[in-house]
A and B are shown apart, each in its own frame.
Chain A
Amino acid sequence: MHKTSIIAAFALALLASSVNAETVAERAVTCFACHGEHGTSETENTPSLGGQQAAYALIQLFMFREKLRTFDPMNEITKSFSDDDLKAFSDFIATLPKPQVPTEASDAARMQKALAIINANHCNSCHKPDFSGSDNVPRLANQREDYLTKTLREYKDNTRHGYDGTMADVMGSVTSEQIPDLAYYISRVK
């Protein structure tokens, strides 16, 4: 089956299930289809959800529902969510296990180079030195590298609108060439 139709099928399944009195954990099975078992994604360009800050997750789910952030499968899934659903799912996401630190050794020189970019742009000021985030600032640590690259690019050209403009603003001074190094570091940070 084509990937989009799988997503659409799951979206429909979730829409159907939301009318039943299922627990959030039961309903979240649909999320795991793309976001990976227990929220660690193995799908290209699709983020891991585990350990995400609940306040940030709530903002993203709200933005999907309101179509302030556009991605068809997520817009479809959240379309019928109540405010309480949004809260229940964001709280649940925060309880999932954090993505693991990759076991293979990272390129020390590239990590150093990326750290210099991070320090110069104070990424660690809001996201914390360990990239765990807090409150409405997302956890980025050990997020998928391809998703980080994609997202940073989208923030830089403002094709992904943040809830507020902070990331568009911050990315103004980061060059396109620096983005892969940032993603490399953040996906491997210990």
Chain B
Amino acid sequence: MIATSSPRSLWLAGVFLGALTVAAAAQQASPSPLPPGSPLIGQPDNEAASKLRPQVAPPLATSADKLPIAKLKVPQGFNIEVYASGLNNAREMALGDKGTVFVGTRLVDKVYAIVNKDGKREVKVLASGLYRPNGVAFHNGTLYIAELSQVSKIDNVEDHLDDPPKPTVIYDKLPKDEAHGWKFIAIGPDNKLYVPVGQPGNNVLHDDAHGQIRRMDLDGKNDEVYALGVRNSVGFDWNPENKQMYFTDNGRDWLSEDVPNDELNRITKKGEDFGAPYCYQGNIPDPEFGWGHSCSEFVAPVGLMGPHAAALGMRFYTGNMFPKSYRNAIIVARHGSWNRTNKFGGDVVVVHLDKDGKVKDIEPLVTGFLQDNKYVGRPDDVMLMKDGSILISDDWNGAVYRVSYGKSKVAAQ
């Protein structure tokens, strides 16, 4: 239909066509009111639902003296402190061999480096002008950076912290969708780079290029799909005992307040399908796409991480500082819900596995990011330090915290 203004004589025709369009739109309104691919598919028409929308981190990093550190609670014997501040939108973290902490971002264009210089900790901008560089991974001296639709690297990065070269692109065969386009990356025990490609929307029947985790050689070659049916994974690591890959996957929105849960999954062999968008949390067929499918067709999660919890960065704890019960448990940052009236998550939890590698129990490690149903911070990723302490990134405040156990309360400067 022509949308430009029409001569007066066509006015009546315009009314007629307009009425037809309204009628057509009204027909589409039931049962699926939204065009395919819309992020709002499934949003019910009621007041409670209309109040919910994605929570976006404020643009300015919180100054060190205003961070909510006093509100953050850790179990008896643990300590939490500010490790670094002023890193706008701090997301995934990676540790260099020489102790540099690299930090990616999603809403700004930078990768930061927290460096130890002359006995003092300092935050530097390592790279800027990148597009949603959420993912960082470090391996054999090289830093890998995942932007929205490409992966690049900086070799010998710790020798060039003062004069970093521009990252060299190694892989760009990635979709450019904004929805779930930001990436967590890691290098597996097989020396391959793992790169997730989320579903391009809340709940969509994705094509062959989406809804998966890929792996490739460290030069970006020989890429292959490693796992399927992945809605949006923003965290994975390998079990130190048997090298199996575990990943968090965020469940869909708008199905209900309490389900589906986010998933913790385990990959036992290449090509396994984890269900999205046909089946969520292992036992809920999707009301739209589940028809003609059964959840039994897919690999069920090894554990559930809570409704809309946004379980993101996760790492196995292989350090020696924390009590023995933490050894080889998974530490998970739950960014916290938006698609739920009473917010859930906004904490860092410890997931203990049983003998079969399934979730035995989940207990809190850091709480307090959620106060009176509002975020005062949001944990995004966790990372193990050489001394056995862990770092937690907070993209809401643009800060990194350190959690230690025992008397060594403060990190060596």
Q: In the complex, which residues of chain B have a beta carbon less than 8 angstroms from the beta carbon of A58?
A: 58-60
CB <8 Å contact, B35 and A173 = yes
Q: In the complex, which residues of chain B have a beta carbon less than 8 angstroms from the beta carbon of A174?
A: 35
Against B, the Cβ 8 Å flags (1 = close, 0 = not) of A89-127 are: 000000000000000000101101100110111100110
Against A, the Cβ 8 Å flags (1 = close, 0 = not) of B34-51 are: 111111100100000010
Q: Can you report 18 residue pairs joining A to B where beta carbons are below 8 Å apart?
A: A55-B58, A62-B59, A63-B59, A68-B109, A107-B14, A109-B19, A113-B21, A120-B25, A120-B28, A120-B35, A121-B34, A137-B53, A158-B178, A166-B39, A169-B178, A170-B38, A170-B40, A173-B37
Q: List 6 A-B pairs, minimum CB-CB distance, nearest first.
A: A165-B178, A173-B35, A116-B25, A109-B18, A62-B59, A168-B178
Against A, the Cβ 8 Å flags (1 = close, 0 = not) of B65-79 are: 000000000000000
Instruction: Give the distance in Å from the alpha carbon of A113 to the alpha carbon of B35 in the complex.
Output: 16
Which positions in A face B, CB cutoff 8 Å? Answer: 55, 58-59, 62-63, 66-68, 83, 86-87, 107, 109-110, 112-113, 116-117, 119-122, 125-126, 136-137, 158, 161-166, 168-170, 172-174, 177-178, 180-181
Instruction: Give the distance in Å from the alpha carbon of A87 to the alpha carbon of B50 in the complex.
Output: 28
**How far apart are B4's CB and chain A's nearest CB, in angstroms?**
7
SS class of chain B's interface: helix, strand, loop or mixed? loop
Q: In the complex, which residues of chain A have a beta carbon less than 8 angstroms from the beta carbon of B106?
A: 164
Given A173-B38, A180-B4: A109 touches B25 (CB 8 Å cut-off): no
Does B412 sit at the interface, judged by CB under 8 A? no
CB-nearest residue of chain A relative to B59?
A62
CB <8 Å contact, B14 and A110 = yes
Given A109-B14, A180-B4: A116 touches B38 (CB 8 Å cut-off): no
Instruction: Give the distance in Å from the alpha carbon of A164 to the alpha carbon of B29 in the complex.
Output: 28
CB-nearest residue of chain B relative to A87?
B60
**How far apart are A179's CB and chain B's nearest CB, in angstroms?**
8
Q: In the complex, which residues of chain A have a beta carbon less than 8 angstroms from the beta carbon of B56?
A: 59, 136, 163-164
CB <8 Å contact, A116 and B14 = no
